[in-house]
Homo-oligomer: A and B are copies of this chain.
Amino acid sequence: MKPGRPNLPGNATAPVVGERALIAGIRARLAPAPPWLLLGIGDDAAVVKPERGALEILTTDALVESIHFDRRFSSPEDIGWKSLAVNLSDIAAMPRLALLSLALPADISSAEVHALVDGFLALAVDARVTLAGGNVTRSPGPLMVDVTVSGFARARHVLTRGGARAGDDLYVTGSVGAGAAGLGWLRDGREAANGVELEGIKACVLRHRRPEPRVRVGALLGRNRAATACMDTSDGLADAARQIAQASGVGATIDAASLPIPSAAREYFRRAGHDPIGAALAGGDDYELLFAAPRRSRGRLATVVRQSRGVPITRIGQLTSERHLVIVRDGVPEPLPEGFVHF
């Protein structure tokens, strides 16, 4: 990890105050480096011993202020947590290390930056991910948090979007629509929530602020070879179903009644004038896993369910040889909505 490039010469403003102090502070709070991390924060690059006999999985994703979060609704800790969560959600393998690249606006305090890093490290500890490097620079505009995660998997355990077959069942972890509804509840404020059960709203808000990436379930699905294809639902369940279907050369039918939409989320969508099913399908911001599994893998899947520490896994439909994307509501098939919808 290192301070950013120098500013443009002639740029009137100073570099981020305390860049080096910030990095020293982060370094001081890290657990001792694992034996495979030969060189971590403090040099230009991290030096890592690859996991023997495994493939490396690499992913990168950024959170940008006012595109992906609003500092009025998410604390610095929330933002740090989520910046790692959205990456872990993409990896569907055992994550091992992360690189953290921060672009800091002038109005962010050093305490806020440390809080952001604390949120990042809280999830990193949970997920056994080591912060191995990164970069700190200034931003003339929004706060940006760009994270790269590296993990590993045996070749025969790698899960991709492709690989599903017609006849496979479609499953989703956790719930659908809570993240989008959570931000909606935050934005619309207390009055909009009159008469709705507070616990339900809180769960939605927590989902928006601190999504729990399904790292364990993803790794278990791979390790047990229980799924044929897998993708996270961060762009919405409808989009994930479309991507898996396209990459696998199949179609999909989803049963609306089976969708695990929390009641507080349904209520939010209803009050906002939206069809709850359509909004939940299109919503995104959930970071659940959508995966396909053939019937003959149900035994393996049962093993995954047993080991997944209470994360619900719900069968919501099936892949079909006809390459259409369909949602069945009250027995009536309709076209699946197009990905993400703004509401």
Q: Is A25 close to B, CB under 8 A?
A: no
Chain B min CB distance to A290 (Å): 11
Please give, as numbers and ranges, the residues of chain B lying within 8 Å of A59 by CB-CB distance: 44-46, 99, 133
**Given contacts A101-B60, A235-B3, is CB(A44)–CB(B90) below 8 Å?**
yes
A279 nearest CB neighbor, chain B only: B9
How many copies of this chain are found per oligomer? 2
Contact assessment for A6 and B235 in the assembled complex, using a CB-CB cutoff below 8 Å: yes
**Given contacts A58-B46, A68-B137, A142-B139, is CB(A235)–CB(B9) below 8 Å?**
no
Please give, as numbers and ranges, the residues of chain B lying within 8 Å of A322 by CB-CB distance: none
Q: Is A144 close to B, CB under 8 A?
A: yes
A103 nearest CB neighbor, chain B only: B64
Assembly CA distance A4 to B138 (angstroms): 21
Contact assessment for B343 and A9 in the assembled complex, using a CB-CB cutoff below 8 Å: yes
Contact assessment for B56 and A56 in the assembled complex, using a CB-CB cutoff below 8 Å: yes
Q: Is A325 close to B, CB under 8 A?
A: no
Please give, as numbers and ranges, the residues of chain B lying within 8 Å of A236 by CB-CB distance: 6
A–B Cβ pairs within 8 angstroms, 30 of them = A4-B64, A5-B63, A5-B234, A8-B69, A9-B180, A9-B343, A10-B184, A11-B66, A11-B67, A38-B155, A39-B160, A43-B160, A43-B247, A44-B231, A46-B58, A46-B59, A47-B55, A47-B56, A47-B158, A47-B160, A49-B56, A50-B56, A58-B133, A58-B150, A59-B99, A60-B148, A64-B103, A64-B140, A67-B103, A67-B140
Chain A residues within CB distance 8 Å of chain B:
2-12, 14-15, 38-39, 42-51, 54-70, 86, 90-93, 97, 99, 101, 103, 132-135, 137-142, 144, 146, 148, 150, 153, 155, 158, 160-161, 180, 183-184, 187, 231-232, 234-236, 247, 283-285, 340, 342-343
